[in-house]
A and B are shown apart, each in its own frame.
Chain A
Amino acid sequence: MSGQLKEVRERIKSVINTQQITKAMKMVSAAKLRKAQMAIQQARPYSNKLTAMLRNVMRYVDNGDQLVYNRATEGLRPAVIIITSNRGLCGAYNSNIVKEAIHHIDTKYAQAVQSKSIRIIPIGKKAVDVLKRHYDPALLERKFLDLGERIEMDRVYEFATFLMDEFRSGNFDIIDVSYGRFRNAAVQIPETVQYLPVPPPKPMKEKKQNIVPNYTFEPDEDTLLTELIPAILKVQIHRFLLDNAASEHGARMTAMDKASENADELLKELRINYNKARQAAITTELSEIVAGAAALGS
């Protein structure tokens, strides 16, 4: 009997230990999430302003869709970037993104997969494991795997430049990005967006068009466009990575919170079992004593 008691006691101890870890991880994720959210907020004004500028300039340029980064192509040599985290223990976050990406690839680019003309660019270790089982490993481009680890502007720009170069030279004729869009700590939305060619900007409302200020453009509209668009493309990659970081920490926080809760429930159950076992042991002992005394008395 006491053997079973001891067993339950050990289990309780181990669950408490695990819970301490999940609680600590939750706190750490909360702190990191705050930082990641801040980074998103601070990056937002820049990209908003840049997009607004682009829209302004586009209104003065008739052949906007003739530009290199806008030209539409058949999608025969696609590239898909899949951004996940480097670490696990964040619930279904990574697998949701990879699932979404695989679904996207298999429906939209099945032919390219077959003819091996697709390139898949995973960022974050978690994507690779699944992807290399799912596709021919030769299709994976792993040069940028650790891009999301520490988000550094230089490396982000290097990556964006690589993508633009490959697109310009025709090696990639369409580039999509799958990532986890950050809504809030509990909600991350796995989504796939087209990165290149640049989808045409939404047209301005009629009303606003009438009060177009008479801008001077320096050096000139076309040159400005050729500088603005790459700048925006770089910022977009930055945003994907920032969103992914925030989503990862949010997902981990939620997962760890759930784990701590589950540990609580498990503990409750174990404690009841423990007390039951203890009670049973006492009752048995008592009845043994009583029976012994009765045997002596008779």
Chain B
Amino acid sequence: MELIVLTPQMEVFRGHIKSVKVPGTAGQFEVLAGHAPIVSSLQQGKVRIITESGEKKVFSILNGFIEVLNNEVSLLVQGVDLAP
């Protein structure tokens, strides 16, 4: 599953991942391979990524959007703080 994380200024992350957990406006949820297509807005909180190699990455965001389509996840976020 491919993930790309974008901010208005730059690309923060791009790579293959096992899963990503995001703070959706309607509740936190986790995206795994084969997730149904979804578009959701995000609220302030932490994004947790587990990369293909099992490495964990966490960063916090202020708000944003997520789109999942055909095992491609796009995260558009604002106010990223890479220090968890």
B residues within 8 A CB of A164?
Answer: none
Chain A minimum-CB-distance residue to B79: A153
A residues within 8 A CB of B65?
Answer: 50, 53, 227-228, 231
CB proximity of A57 to chain B, nearest CB, Å? 6
**Given A49-B67, A50-B65, A213-B69: A153 and B41 interface contact (C-beta under 8 Å):** no
Q: Spot the interface stretch: A11-19, A39-47, A139-147, A247-255.
A: A39-47
A231-B39 Cα distance, complex, nearest whole Å: 15
B9 at the interface (CB under 8 A from A): yes
B residues within 8 A CB of A227?
Answer: 25, 41, 65
Chain A residues with a Cβ closer than 8 Å to the other chain, count = 27
A287-B67 Cα distance, complex, nearest whole Å: 91
Establish whether residues A218 and B11, one from each chain, have CB atoms under 8 Å apart when the complex forms. Answer: no
Per-position 1/0 for A51-67, Cβ under 8 A of B? 00100110000000000
B49 at the interface (CB under 8 A from A): no
CB proximity of A208 to chain B, nearest CB, Å? 13
Establish whether residues A57 and B9, one from each chain, have CB atoms under 8 Å apart when the complex forms. Answer: no
The B contact surface, by secondary structure, is strand
A115 at the interface (CB under 8 A from B): no
A residues within 8 A CB of B51?
Answer: none
Interface residues of B (CB under 8 A from A): 4, 6-11, 24-26, 36-41, 65, 67, 69-70, 74, 76, 78
Which are the 4 A-B pairs with shortest beta-carbon distances? A218-B40, A213-B37, A46-B6, A216-B38
Q: Which residue of the partner chain, among A56, A213, A219, A234, contacts B41 with CB atoms under 8 Å?
A: A219
A238 at the interface (CB under 8 A from B): yes
Establish whether residues A45 and B40, one from each chain, have CB atoms under 8 Å apart when the complex forms. Answer: no
Establish whether residues A217 and B38, one from each chain, have CB atoms under 8 Å apart when the complex forms. Answer: yes
**Given A42-B11, A45-B6, A46-B7: A216 and B37 interface contact (C-beta under 8 Å):** yes
